[in-house]
Structure 1
Amino acid sequence: MSQAPELAGNVQQKRKILSCVEYTRICQFINGYHGLAIDCEFELRNRFFQDVEPMALTCILQSELFNRSRGHHWKQDQRGKKLLKIYEEQKNLYDNALLIRMACVEGLNPVALCRMLLHEKYKLRHRSHISRFLKHPHLIDDPRLAANVQQCMISDNQEGSITDLRRRIIGEEYELKLKTLAKEAGIHFYDEQDLRRMGYDKTPDIKMILPFLYRGSVINWIESKANFGDTKGHKFNIQQQLHSYCNRFGPGIIIYWFGYHEETPMMPDNNIGITVLADFPAKEDMVFMQLAEGVSPTKTAEKTSSTSKLLGEFREAGSPAK
């Protein structure tokens, strides 16, 4: 029992920041794997890359499979008849695992395969009708097909209502973590709901009422991403969100909680005022304004002339776009 603290202290810290070589190795393993994505994820996390943050591996897998499926989408639309024919011919040879076996052979996500089969079998033209069958397999009039669809739903870690719910919960968990850590650090901020009430459309997770310094750089906002920051995904985030934040509010931070590619923080696109981190800023790296006693942060923020004097060269927080 006395050795427990020592053992706890020796737990190896999983790596979040990946070199180009290691990131490429992970992607090559994913693209060369034959089988279900859920099994590939198990192999990545428990056998081949045990020293890497597990959620980073999960995110890289998701990104690689998503990019692959986009490249073959036009082919998948033409495979429905063939897949339905195979299912009808072999459905009496297997119990509830036929569609899982077919997904492995065809290199498809189980839910994507179910979607193609349902589309072809019932001639469903609207995606919402197919989604209804996927969420409620008992509505399918073929009991054997319904059982196969149910098995696919719980065996797919890339698509489906279960996977969507898990990702949403993780995203909300890390947004809450950001707000909790910001409050503990003594940061006064507006959250997304506050900003929308003030008339903003695109909003970061938190916007500082008063900017602070992080390693000499002014920080006006922080965006939380429960994801791994590869260069392609980061470029997309800049185009869709971060560029707008910098234009309106000034420089800020994006946190990729599960790590990032080593080249992501050095991308030229970040020069508009984006700092990339894998965790909440360390307290010793932050410098805050000292408010006068008895003055609320909100009132102080409104006095822009006083704020600019105190901040010196600090860039003022932006106002809503006209």
Structure 2
Amino acid sequence: MAQSGNKMEKRKPIKKKILTNVEYSQICQFINEFCGGGLPMDCELKMVTRIFNDIEPLALVCILQSQIFNKARGQHWRHENRAKLLLKIYDDECHLYNDSDLLIRMACAESINPIAMCRLLLQEKYDMRQRPAVSQLIKHPHLINDARLAANVQQCLYSDNQEGPITDLRRRMIGEEYELKLKQLANAAGIFFYDERDLRRMGYDKTPDIKVILPFLYKGLIVNWIESKANFGDTKSHKWNIQQQLLSYCNRFGPGIIIYWFGYHEETPLLPDNNIGITILADFPDRKHLDLMQMPRLPAV
């Protein structure tokens, strides 16, 4: 049958956000094998466009970030102990190549982030043990008095999607974007709340993104606060969030919701740690599942 009028718009396929244990394990295995000799940036591109293109791309980005971080933390002291040798390798080879990719190639060979490689070499070359001083050179490579090294550091700065000032800025902007999204959706749903600034003015130190003024019900569960996480909720990171933030929210304000906007592991909501009053979602709660109390109206004068 011929269609009349404008062509129907094709809906984009919904990407999967809640991952099974098998799917999550496959992703982690791919990351660990790929990053044994390649850049995390290339790993991310291949996962998103070719290997796991049915899964929410930002979930893949977050899993990659978590895997790289855990690996780097476990190997930190090994790399620190090899800093002098790595600097010698760089000094011996930097004059053999007429490009600024030597540090990137070394990072791939050592299975380490390019910025982490820069940090090791700068610390060793200039005997700088204060992290802020090294970070300043990485953020502003033109301050490095060795032009060839400065060019290599600059190339690493643009080629590392896991560490460095550009990556930090991107993550901060994404986090703020989803906090704003939470507030907009809460307002649209008719929820009255205090945000973090309001709560800090009231003297609270650890504060959720929004504290509900009038508690509401979500599928029969009482909700007093909502926390926004522009991240993927695997079991390990969720337990860490409970210890660092959510436990104090529950003790102080009662039960609430944490939203992992980029999805979560299927076992995360089943953790017994959630029994203190934590509900896990991958999006803002559907309006049809909310029972809201109405603010009392003042009588007309």
Q: Same fold (TM over 0.5)?
A: yes
Deviates more, 1:89-98 or 1:165-174: 89-98
Q: 2:67 aligns with which of 52, 64, 68?
A: 64
TM-score (norm 2): 0.95
Tell me the residue number matched to 1:197. Answer: 201
The gaps in structure 1 that reach 5 residues or longer are 296-322
Q: For residues 90 and 237 of structure 1, do their structure 2 counterparts lie closer, same or farther at Cα, with a shift above 3 Å needed?
A: same
Report the residue type matching 1:51 in the other structure.
D
Residue deviations 1:64-114, cap 9 Å, x none? 010011111110111111111111111122211111111111111000000
Q: Quote how far apart the aligned CAs of 1:6 are.
A: 3.6
Is 2:256 the partner of 1:252? yes
Tell me the residue number matched to 2:148. Answer: 144
Q: Quote how far apart the aligned CAs of 1:2 are.
A: 5.7
2:168 is paired with a residue whose SS is helix
Write the distance in 2 (CA, Å) between the matches of 1:49 and 1:125.
41
Is 2:270 the partner of 1:269? no
Residue deviations 1:215-244, cap 9 Å, x none? 000000000000000000000000000000
Tell me the residue number matched to 1:171. Answer: 175
Tell me the residue number matched to 1:76. Answer: 79
Tell me the residue number matched to 2:32. Answer: 31
Residues 275-290 of structure 1 correspond to what in structure 2 (within 5 A)?
275-290=279-294
Is 2:25 the partner of 1:44? no
Report the residue type matching 1:16 in the other structure.
K
Moved over 6 A (4+): none
Write the distance in 2 (CA, Å) between the matches of 1:246 and 1:260.
21
Q: Quote how far apart the aligned CAs of 1:3 are.
A: 6.3
Tell me the residue number matched to 1:305. Answer: none
1:240 is paired with a residue whose SS is helix
Tell me the residue number matched to 2:19. Answer: 18
Write the distance in 1 (CA, Å) between the matches of 2:170 and 2:7.
33
Deviates more, 1:71-80 or 1:250-259: 71-80
Write the distance in 2 (CA, Å) between the matches of 1:4 and 1:251.
47
Deviates more, 1:285-294 or 1:183-192: 285-294
TM-score (norm 1): 0.89
Write the distance in 1 (CA, Å) between the matches of 2:186 and 2:8.
29
Q: Quote how far apart the aligned CAs of 1:292 are.
A: 3.5
Write the distance in 2 (CA, Å) between the matches of 1:131 and 1:4.
53
Identity among equivalent positions (%) equals 67
Is 2:155 the partner of 1:154? no
Q: Quote how far apart the aligned CAs of 1:291 are.
A: 3.4
Q: For residues 86 and 214 of structure 1, do their structure 2 counterparts lie closer, same or farther at Cα, with a shift above 3 Å needed?
A: same
Tell me the residue number matched to 2:56. Answer: 53
1:77 is paired with a residue whose SS is helix
Write the distance in 1 (CA, Å) between the matches of 2:96 and 2:43.
26
Q: Quote how far apart the aligned CAs of 1:284 are.
A: 0.1
Tell me the residue number matched to 1:233. Answer: 237
User: How many aligned residue pairs are there?
Assistant: 293
Residue deviations 1:98-138, cap 9 Å, x none? 11111111111000000000011111121111111101100
Write the distance in 1 (CA, Å) between the matches of 2:280 and 2:223.
12
Q: 2:92 aligns with which of 89, 114, 118?
A: 89
Q: Quote how far apart the aligned CAs of 1:5 are.
A: 2.8
Q: Quote how far apart the aligned CAs of 1:4 are.
A: 4.5
Residue deviations 1:39-88, cap 9 Å, x none? 01111111100000000000000000100111111101111111111111
Write the distance in 1 (CA, Å) between the matches of 2:214 and 2:232.
29
2:8 is paired with a residue whose SS is helix
* Superposition RMSD in Å: 1.2
Residue deviations 1:267-293, cap 9 Å, x none? 100000000000000000000113333
Q: For residues 107 and 270 of structure 1, do their structure 2 counterparts lie closer, same or farther at Cα, with a shift above 3 Å needed?
A: same
The gaps in structure 2 that reach 5 residues or longer are none
Report the residue type matching 1:226 in the other structure.
A
2:194 is paired with a residue whose SS is strand
Is 2:185 the partner of 1:181? yes
